[in-house]
């Protein structure tokens, strides 16, 4: 618990700084959009490529960790669809609201996940978090994008669009590049390695500042059952599922810790943009994102202490 709190405290401070900077007007809203894009498209791919390129694949439980996380995502998605089928009325889950609950329960903030894993477990934690990214992000896109198409946009599922989103996702292509570099034994050279390390060091601070800038505390004035349900499923249900599947598959040590981090962090900040773009309940998505980010300051260390 102490180690988790010590790792989380700097993240909370940087998040608060990002929130304060955004509210101060020092950086225009359009500036934050560009700032987050640089972190997402440049800084985070750098840290992922570098750590995967240097990872010892033989010493890390990539397959079992990936399988445990994929099973956790699929199980939680099944729970959400069951809620839609049997508890729509009491939870007031129309189509758009359901998609926000689904995103809130299943998706994860990889910015916070990478920062926590790096702080707790170093380079090995970053490499294992890249495994979590590969195991979860494509699956989450295949679950949430079609759900938004059917329940929110009311249109047909575009397989081409889903495939394009995956191909262009910086976390996916950078993970593939890092693995490829490692497998072929390519020597990047000291200048390239130093440049990747420099940009990678900027990734964690930039990503967490962007998370803080995106928080909307005023959204918490509108509580409701859907908000509570999505937050409980994400912050409590997902870590429990991950711990269960890790135990079933023999995932222990640092890999187990990374699995708990990846499932105990709040939902992805990009979920709001996806909800707005595809006709989901963007207001509810903002509520879910804000509440989970604040609540995870308590629930994440507890989950690590009890389950990792």
Residue 306 region by backbone torsions, left for phi larger than 0, else alpha for psi between -120 and 50, else beta: alpha
Residue 223 binned pLDDT confidence (cut-offs 50, 70, 90): low
Cα–Cα–Cα angle for 284, 269, 275, nearest 5°?
Answer: 45
Q: Which residue has the higher pLDDT, 169 or 196?
A: 196
CA–CA dist 37, 42 (Å, integer): 8
With contact defined as beta carbons under 8 Å apart, do 209 and 17 qualify? Answer: yes
Average pLDDT of the chain? 88
Could you give the percent of the chain with pLDDT greater than 90? 40
pLDDT exceeds 70 at position 154: no
Above 90 in pLDDT, residue 207?
no
The 10s digit of each residue's pLDDT in 80-89 is 999 999 888 8
Per-residue pLDDT reduced to its tens digit, 231-265? 999 999 999 999 999 999 999 999 999 999 999 99
Check: pTM over 0.95? Answer yes or no.
Answer: no
Instruction: Over range 162-170, report the average pLDDT.
Output: 74
303 pLDDT more than 90: yes
């Amino acid at each position: 618990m102490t180690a988790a709190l010590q790792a989380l405290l700097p993240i909370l401070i940087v998040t608060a700084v990002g929130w304060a900077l955004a509210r101060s007007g020092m950086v225009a809203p359009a500036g934050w959009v560009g700032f987050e894009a640089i972190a997402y498209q440049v800084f985070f791919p750098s840290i992922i490529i570098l750590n995967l390129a240097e990872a010892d694949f033989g010493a890390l439980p990539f397959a079992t960790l990936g399988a445990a996380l994929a099973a956790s995502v699929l199980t939680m998605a099944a729970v959400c669809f069951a809620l839609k089928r049997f508890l729509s009325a009491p939870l007031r889950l129309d189509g758009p609201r359901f998609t926000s609950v689904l995103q809130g329960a299943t998706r994860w903030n990889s910015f916070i996940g990478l920062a926590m894993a790096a702080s707790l477990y170093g380079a090995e934690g970053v490499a294992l978090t890249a495994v979590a990214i590969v195991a979860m992000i494509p699956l989450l896109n295949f679950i949430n994008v079609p759900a938004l198409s059917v329940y929110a946009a009311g249109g047909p599922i575009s397989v081409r669009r889903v495939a394009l989103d995956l191909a262009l996702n910086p976390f996916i292509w950078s993970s593939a590049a890092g693995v490829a570099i490692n497998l072929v034994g390519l020597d990047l050279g000291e200048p390239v390695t130093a440049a990747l390390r420099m940009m990678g060091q900027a990734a964690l601070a930039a990503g967490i500042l962007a998370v803080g800038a995106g928080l909307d505390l005023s959204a918490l004035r509108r509580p409701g059952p859907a908000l509570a349900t999505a937050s409980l499923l994400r912050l409590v249900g997902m870590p429990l599922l991950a711990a269960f599947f890790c135990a079933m598959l023999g995932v222990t040590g640092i890999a187990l810790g990374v699995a708990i981090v990846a499932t105990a962090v709040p939902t992805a900040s990009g979920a709001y943009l996806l909800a707005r773009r595809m006709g989901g309940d963007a207001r509810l998505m903002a509520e879910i994102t804000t509440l989970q980010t604040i609540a995870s300051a308590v629930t994440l260390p507890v989950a690590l202490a009890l389950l990792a």
